[in-house]
Chain A
Amino acid sequence: MEIFRAHVLVCGGTGCTSGGSPRIKALLEEELAKNGLEKEVNLVVTGCHGLCEMGPLVIVYPEGTMYVHVQPEDVSDIVSEHLLKGRIVERLLYKEPVTAERVPHYGDLPFYHKQERLVLRNCGYINPEVIEEYIGRDGYAALAKALAEMTPDEVIQEVLDAGLRGRGGAGFPTGLKWNFCRKAKGEPKYIVCNGDEGDPGAFMDRSILEGDPHRVLEGMAIGAYAIGASKAVIYVRAEYPLAVRRLHLAVKKAEEMGLLGDNILGTDFSLHIDIKEGAGAFVCGEETALLASIMGQRGMPWPRPPFPAVSGLWGKPTNINNVETWANIPDIILRGADWFASMGTEKCKGTKVFALTGNVQNTGLVEVPMGISMREIIYDIGGGVPNGKKFKAVQIGGPSGGCLPESQLDLGVDYESLTGAGAIMGSGGLVVMDEDTCIVDVARFFLSFTRAESCGKCTPCREGIMRMLEILDRISAGEGRMEDLDLLEKTAHIIQDTSLCGLGQTAPNPILSTLRYFRDEYVAHIKDQRCPAGVCTALLTYYIKPELCRGCTACTKVCPTGAITGERKAVHVIDPEKCIKCGACAERCPFDAIVQA
């Protein structure tokens, strides 16, 4: 075995890859060779660290120094200063936004302080394309334990005792689900990994699949053993090419090592995993639509019963779990139910990975114990709202979730509390919004998403979402009526009550939660004809303050519609009929004379 004095980890997650990390890696390779260090320093491409905002990331061990926003021109400094002379390159360290202090060590970053990284334990630490690195971190030990020391029933009992609940959003107890499928009659049985992550802004499943694919495969193998399944399918978005490539590689490597395929680890247990790429329909995240899609049909849900556990893929008993759920399994088996259940709340055990995005300092992927408050996630981990703006709301659970205000921030995050507040855990998207966000516009955004992504099968979802979106459009255009709010509420409740699948049943949540917490803002749009956040262009007017205008004519030059008139050195005027509210004049005016009203 080769011994290295230092390891340089280059993030190969999608964020850092698109930020240029492959180039950084190539330059590091060159630079190390130039300095004769290739035998002393090990260069590793890892999965995602979660702090995507700061990418491309390079981490140097044994010190654990994290370099952020690394550019090609920084590579020679990292090699000559850090690796040759042992001097940290200060300017590349993370800068704490409030104190402006540089933080040299990965572990000292406030972003990681309150995190409990279990599922993401290996992400950013190992090379996901090398199975030995996963094995070196106790990988496949849980599978060996399950096969050698546990009966299938004992495995299910362990998962039940751990209290693990489905991480795809609905929070159904995983062990119970496995038991249904184990007890169902029919051969062969299938297990499916749902990697059709579709919520805008959510990327936890992608990061797990890219950063630690073997963890998911191991979880599936343990599940298949417990359920009595011999076939498995991973349904993954085709828009995740890196995840798809690494999954194919991981399955191949695991089969070569006897960890998947026939007679796993020399036992009678066999499992064959196929990878099916989804074609980009949000609704295929719904279990029955997903199964229809695997079978080559249009991705449309079917009514349950029959439940997939009884009649799923090709009419056989099928168990479907989300990527993150499968990724939790190895640790539960290896370290025990008690260990897992010691984290989280009474009803929700373990951790949850959230994708933190929007108006927050540290966007990225965070894994926290269940029950942590949203305030801790947004402020302590996320670093709060940037640019001195005020926090307004957080959308949790994607387009099926709800929009929660400041008053709900101390809520402990678990399935029940979020549902009670009008949101849902969902897959774990957290979009933070500041004061410049218009709440009607937010609801419109999510509704326009579900309008386009509804499969079109059932009436309430197909027709109802469109009608609610049209009402929102009307309000945003200043043509709303007060009765519209009642109609919105009534329609939303009936869509929840009557839709066929989870997509329609939850699609009204953004409307209901914003009406619940931000009704005033809707009323302002309708009664006062005013968009308090200054977003809805139809409700804006630009005018020139005569006392500030110097008649410099700068605004007339940028106005695309010729709406501004006035002689040089005389006060200018905007014709509201011609103005398209693009705001170009206000940006251009050197005297801040042009304002919104």
Chain B
Amino acid sequence: MPLKMVELTIDGRQVSVPEGTTILEAAESLGIEIPTLCHDRDLIVAGACRLCVVEVEQIKKNLPAACAQPVGAGMVVHTNNPRVREARRTVLELIIANHPLDCLTCEENGKCKLQKYCYEYGVQDSPYEGETREYEIDDSNPFIERDMTKCILCGKCVRVCAEIQGVNAIDFINRGFDTKIGTFYDGELIDSPCLYCGQCIYMCPVGALAAIPSRGLGRDYDVEKVATTCPYCGVGCQLALNVRNDRIVGVTNIADSHNQGYLCVKGRFGYEFVHSPDRLTKPLIKRNGKFEQASWDEALDLVAEKLGAIKAEYGPDAIAGLTSAKCTNEENYLFQKFVRAVIGTNNIDHCARL
């Protein structure tokens, strides 16, 4: 069925979009950026931060949120007029009245959406003074630091944990001004069902959630992002190694990938082996009961010779091959081909079958 199209005007420009499109998406299609803190294309619309409010001439009552308001035929939308800018500035002032302005030492500096919008809207300070929400930092686990003093309660971490990961490790607790994000009975993360996929860190628009292994090793703008395939399993998730001075200092999402950026704890945090001093980088051959470093040619010759000898003496079925889920499909294909065609046995298996 062809989609019914709806025509409307956004900032004086005509646009035609399918029925059900939100004002935010319609504006995006025109290249008009509307600020958002709680919106993500993968999550159910929450309409919580209210930064994306716009003026719609046909809606007299209030300023609707662009992320939640579907387009209507003939709508005239203003995304950036003085009334809208004033409302957004006030929303930002209300947020930073309760947000530490410690950008100097914050991991999120340079990537922080709150910082970006405060810059764009000229919000340097808040006219509101009074109580602030302050909590102890939770770094009870090796991976995720939760500094709820910095939390702006956009709820994206809660939604990604529930809607995408299906873990529900965290949720809103308390009410009104005292609302916070917490685990069951507001305990530490280590006592929660959290699986440390780190998706919440990626979603967090501010510095409330941070990757503990990356702390102090470089901000977003300090690192080079190297796209690669996760070495842990056959799903082959795409991820971005954050590299600084030839060292991996973190892993971030590549949203435009078959895994849509989502990773598990291994892909997100399991990179430390790369720089481990214990890691084997050269072949070792055991001579006189002791491992000695060898060249690849020496090592491969030795393996070929031994395999050939076993095959000659006991036949090909005396040999079996077991490959790993850490290998790519291509590597696994090659290995079974080698075992079947070169060795001549069907004794080939794979750890994922166990």
Contact = CB atoms under 8 A, between A and B. Distances in A.
Contacts of B153: 456-457, 459, 462
Given A494-B86, A498-B53, 10 more contacts: A303-B69, A451-B176, A455-B176, A456-B153, A458-B48, A460-B90, A465-B177, A497-B62, A500-B47, A500-B65
B48 A459 contact: yes
Contacts of A505: 62
Contact of B48 (A457, A464, A466): A457
Contact of B130 (A462, A467, A494): A467
Contacts of B155: 457
A293 interface: no
Interface in A449-488: 450-460, 462-467, 470, 487
A451 B63 CA distance: 22
Given A457-B46, A458-B49, A497-B62, A281 B175 contact: yes
Contacts of A464: 90, 94
Contacts of B348: none
A174 interface: no
25 contacts: A281-B175, A302-B47, A303-B45, A451-B176, A452-B175, A452-B176, A453-B176, A455-B176, A456-B178, A457-B48, A458-B49, A463-B97, A463-B128, A464-B94, A465-B177, A466-B131, A466-B176, A467-B128, A487-B128, A491-B128, A497-B53, A497-B62, A498-B63, A499-B62, A500-B48
Interface residues of A, number: 35
B241 interface: no
A568 interface: no
B50 A500 contact: yes
The 6 closest A-B pairs by CB, nearest first: A456-B179, A303-B47, A303-B68, A470-B130, A463-B94, A454-B176
Nearest to A450: B176
Chain B interface helix/strand/loop/mixed: loop
Given A459-B50, A497-B63, A470 B131 contact: yes
Interface of B: 45-51, 53, 62-63, 65, 68-70, 86-87, 90-91, 94-95, 97-98, 127-131, 152-153, 155, 171-172, 174-179
Given A456-B177, A463-B97, A497 B87 contact: yes
Contacts of B178: 456
A487 B51 CA distance: 19
B70 A305 contact: yes
A406 B128 CA distance: 33
Chain A interface helix/strand/loop/mixed: helix
B127 A459 contact: no
Contacts of B176: 450-456, 462, 465-466
Contact of A456 (B49, B98, B175): B175
A300 interface: yes
A496 interface: yes
A490 interface: yes
B47 A460 contact: no
Give the most central of A303, A491, A494: most B CB within 10 Å: A494
A487 B126 CA distance: 12
A545 interface: no
Contacts of B97: 463, 467
Contacts of B53: 497-498
Interface in A72-115: none
Give the most central of B98, B176, B178: most A CB within 10 Å: B176
Interface in A422-467: 450-460, 462-467
Nearest to A486: B127
Given A470-B129, A497-B63, A455 B87 contact: no
B172 A457 contact: yes
Contacts of A490: 90
A451 B153 CA distance: 16
A466 B130 contact: yes
Contact of B177 (A281, A451, A497): A451
Contact of B50 (A453, A460, A470): A460
A455 B175 contact: yes
Contacts of A390: none
Nearest to B155: A457
A23 interface: no
A252 interface: no
A298 interface: yes
Interface string A294-335: 000010101111000000000000000000000000000000
A500 B52 CA distance: 12
B292 to A, nearest CB: 63
Contacts of A303: 45-47, 65, 68-69
A466 B172 CA distance: 18
Contacts of A453: 175-176
A463 B178 CA distance: 10
Contacts of A450: 176
Contact of A463 (B46, B69, B177): B177
Contacts of B86: 494
Contacts of A497: 53, 62-63, 87
A585 to B, nearest CB: 34
